Structure 1
Amino acid sequence: MSMLTPPGMGGKYRITGDRYPRMSRPRNRRRLVFTAFGSVLALGLVGWGTLQLIDVFSGDSRDQKVRAAHGTGECERGDKPPAENAKSGRSDSGQSGQGGRTGEKPPKPSQITVNVYNATTRSGLAKDTAKELEKRGFKIGKVGNAPTQYDKKVKATGILLGAPGAGHGAFNVLGTQLTGAQTKNDARDGKDIDLIIGNRFKDLVGQKDADKALAALAKPSPAPSGSPCR
């Protein structure tokens, strides 16, 4: 009889063998459910925290987009947007690309004194050009050979040289009389302008074409419609 057989029992109830039966604990389903729930909750918290961090770092860009959508940007100060200033030829200093200040008409040829200098090897070029400009209404000042620093050194059509206070309006008015001229400022005090004739100069622009250019220059460009600033 085996030691596992209870006293008084035998026959078919007798337990034989020398191995004890293995007893396994039943699985705890509640523990598995709680473990799975805890994992899902932890993942959810991690995801929510990540979204909060992204929102913090991207908050400035969202705020800028909202302000732009509602027009609370640079236009609040009454300024035109940069794109509109570029179209109208206006810079930050209020200077127009065609005349002097914005809304200011360019000067008439009779209000501009031009000194004509010849920087080429062709003789009589300054004198002939000065006579033609005078016929077109410009005042003529000095006429002669170009100063040493420009003599035989101007490869372009010509150089329009004047003081910063002379304004771009006078440059543009005189620029309608010849094509490809460069503009340059010096330290003079007067409002006269030097026309230094260069090697590429052939002749002044035709009278009719020059008059058309002057007429277009005198007409201010219409204000662009559909401005985002109101």
Structure 2
Amino acid sequence: MGGQYRIRGDKYPRMRRPRRRGRLVVLGTASVAVLGVAGWGTLQLIDVFTGGGNPASAVGTKAACAPKTSPSPSPRALPAPSGITVNVLNATTRSGLAKKTADELKKRGFKIGEVGNATKEYDKKVKGTGVLLGPAAALNTSLPVLGTQLAGAQPRTDAARKGTEVDLIIGDGFTRLTERAAADRALTALNKPEPAPTGKKC
């Protein structure tokens, strides 16, 4: 082209789009606002689940999550070994078991009554370690105490039986009494049962 529109030299005019600074400022402000709201929401959720950093709230949460236990049952009025008279009877074909067992029970504090062979009802008919026999009133008193001395012995009651004496009838599965240390622990647990847990751990 000629005249006043003639291009001279090696430089050409460049066409630039007008800058839209106003729109960029609006977008930047909106982004900051969105990030701020998201951060605030996150902090609120953390406060809800952690108690807001309040020690009292944290303690309350831990207390709520702690396992609950039922009240300790009232101790039963169980007799001491010294208050129980035991008849030791042998229902096996092995001789000497009744006397040996009676001597050991005496060392452990029990009173010893009759020592000898089992009656015809039980003689050679007890396959387990033994039978603990007593009156109905002994089921939750004397028999559990005596049972700590011979694991696996079967407790039985005789409604027609009078008095307070109980029998330890030695069976074919008998080898010896429970070790004294273990028997003492069982007796302690019997007198002081621990409360059973009733809740769930978090």
**TM-score, length basis structure 2:** 0.59
Aligned pair partner of 2:184 in 211, 215, 225: 211
- Rounded to whole Å, the distance in 2 between the matches of 1:180 and 1:223 is 24
- Rounded to whole Å, the distance in 2 between the matches of 1:220 and 1:175 is 16
Q: Which residue of 2 aligns with 1:190?
A: 163
SS across alignment from 1:174 = helix
Please say if 1:177 is aligned against 2:165: no
Q: Which residue of 1 aligns with 2:52?
A: none
Alignment of 1:69-108 (within 5 A): 103-108=75-80
Please say if 1:134 is aligned against 2:106: yes
The structure-2 alpha-carbon separation of the partners of 1:218 and 1:121, relative to structure 1 and needing over 3 Å to count, comes to same
- Rounded to whole Å, the distance in 1 between the matches of 2:157 and 2:142 is 12
Q: CA deviation at 1:107?
A: 1.3
**TM-score, length basis structure 1:** 0.52
Q: Which residue of 1 aligns with 2:120?
A: 148
- Rounded to whole Å, the distance in 2 between the matches of 1:129 and 1:223 is 35
- Rounded to whole Å, the distance in 1 between the matches of 2:198 and 2:114 is 46
| Contact preservation (8 Å) 1:166, 1:190 | no
Identity of aligned residues (%): 60
Give runs of ≥4 in structure 1 deviating > 6 Å.
Answer: none
| Contact preservation (8 Å) 2:75, 2:191 | no
| Contact preservation (8 Å) 1:116, 1:197 | yes
Q: CA deviation at 1:104?
A: 2.3
Aligned pair partner of 2:90 in 111, 118, 122: 118
Q: Which runs of 5+ in 2 are unaligned?
A: 1-69
What's the Cα RMSD here? 2.0
- Rounded to whole Å, the distance in 2 between the matches of 1:219 and 1:139 is 23
Bigger RCO of structures 1 and 2 (CA < 8 A, at least 6 apart): 2
- Rounded to whole Å, the distance in 2 between the matches of 1:188 and 1:207 is 30
Q: CA deviation at 1:202?
A: 0.3
- Rounded to whole Å, the distance in 1 between the matches of 2:93 and 2:105 is 21
Question: Which of 1 and 2 has greater Rg?
Answer: 1
Q: CA deviation at 1:215?
A: 1.2
| Contact preservation (8 Å) 1:118, 1:146 | yes
Q: Which runs of 5+ in 1 are unaligned?
A: 1-86, 89-95, 97-101
The structure-2 alpha-carbon separation of the partners of 1:154 and 1:225, relative to structure 1 and needing over 3 Å to count, comes to closer
